[in-house]
Amino acid sequence: MPPSGIADALHRLIPRAAPATPSHAPNHSTNFLVSPNLGEVLVGPDELKRRVRELAEAVTADYAGKDLLLIGVLKGAIFFLADFMRELDLDCEVDFMAISSYGSSTRSSGVVRILKDLDAAIEGRHVLIVEDIVDSGLTLQYLLRNLAGRKPESLEVCALLLKPSNSQVPLTPRYVGFEIPDRFVVGYGLDHAERYRALPYVAALDE
């Protein structure tokens, strides 16, 4: 059954869809490297495809028959959202928000700015935020509080990547793709200063 209230989204400690552990398969580490700044490949293309499909199956089951709105967080979630939405067996809608807390840095500044707000009202709807990565959790916490004030029927998060060792708030998304170590990562939509988004895998960036 889908979640019943907003408080669960803010305080849940155990994710509904158990995160996978990247295999760090060495065969991916030499296939696509395009910069000497790229380090270890943490999640390869095949792992991404498989896990996105699994997350979509879990969401399809939980939200069957519900009026689901996906909110993609720009720009990092664009590849994940596109693949994830195509795997859903649901009639859902999509909207976008753009928020900033990194700039060109590899560490969050802790100051969150909304660069683009939603086009649609979310009151009374089941809302699923689709995030690329949850790092400290501060940005996501801000976003959840902001959207909760708009009175959706339910509010949950599906995040491709989670850094549990770097969390600064007691918050875990309902759906998590992979748990990764506290390293700055790029690829599959994630960037550093707008570079590396198009990589077909997730890799660490050697600072």
Q: What letter represents residue 203's amino acid? A: A
The domain tally of the chain equals: 1
Q: Mean pLDDT throughout 156-176?
A: 91
Which of 74-83, 106-115, 164-173 has the least mean pLDDT?
A: 106-115
Bridge-based pairing of strands 202-205 and 38-43 is antiparallel
Confirm whether 37 is domain-assigned: no
Nearest to 47 by CA among 60, 73, 29: 29
User: For residue range 49-96, what is the model confidence (pLDDT) as tens digits?
Assistant: 999 999 999 999 999 999 999 999 999 999 999 999 999 999 999 999
Pairing of β 126-134 and β 154-162: parallel
Q: Is the pLDDT of residue 107 over 90?
A: no
Domain-embedded: residue 128: yes
Average pLDDT over residues 166-171: 82
Tell me the percentage of the chain whose pLDDT exceeds 70.
78
Strands 154-162 and 175-179: parallel
The catalytic site residues sit at 135
Establish if 122 belongs to a structural domain: yes
Question: At residue 137, does pLDDT exceed 50?
Answer: yes
Q: Is residue 39 part of a domain?
A: no
Q: Please say if the pLDDT value at position 108 is more than 70.
A: no
Closest-CA residue to 204 (of 31, 36, 20): 36
Q: Residue 104: is its pLDDT beyond 70? A: no
Give a yes or no: residue 136 inside a domain: yes
- Is residue 186 a contact partner of residue 178, using CB atoms and an 8 Å limit? no
- Give CA–CA dist 86/1, Å, rounded: 22
pLDDT tops 70 at residue 4: no
The residue with greater pLDDT, 145 or 136, is 145
Please give the angle made by the CA atoms of 188, 194 and 200, to the nearest 5 degrees: 20
Query: pTM of the full predicted structure?
Result: 0.81
Q: Does residue 41 lie in a domain region?
A: no
Strands (E), the chain: 38-43, 68-74, 93-100, 113-116, 126-134, 154-162, 175-179, 185-186, 202-205
123 is a domain residue: yes
Distance CA 70, CA 130 (A): 7
Domain hosting 120: range is 6-18+46-102+110-205
* CATH code assigned at 122: 3.40.50.2020
What per-residue confidence (pLDDT) applies to 110?
58
Task: State the chain's mean pLDDT as an integer.
Answer: 85
User: Could you read off the pLDDT of 21-55 as tens digits, one per residue?
Assistant: 675 543 444 444 456 789 999 999 999 999 999 99
- Residue 207: per-residue pLDDT: 67
Instruction: Say whether the peptide bond before residue 163 is cis (omega within 30 degrees of 0).
Output: no
| DSSP state letters, 67-121 | -EEEEEEETTTHHHHHHHHHH--S--EEEEEEEES-TTSSS--S--EEEE--SS-
Q: Is residue 61 part of a domain?
A: yes
- pLDDT band with cut points at 50, 70 and 90 for residue 12: very low
Q: Which residue has the higher pLDDT, 76 or 170?
A: 76
Residue 15's pLDDT band (cuts 50, 70, 90): very low
- How confident is the model over 103-117, as a mean pLDDT? 68
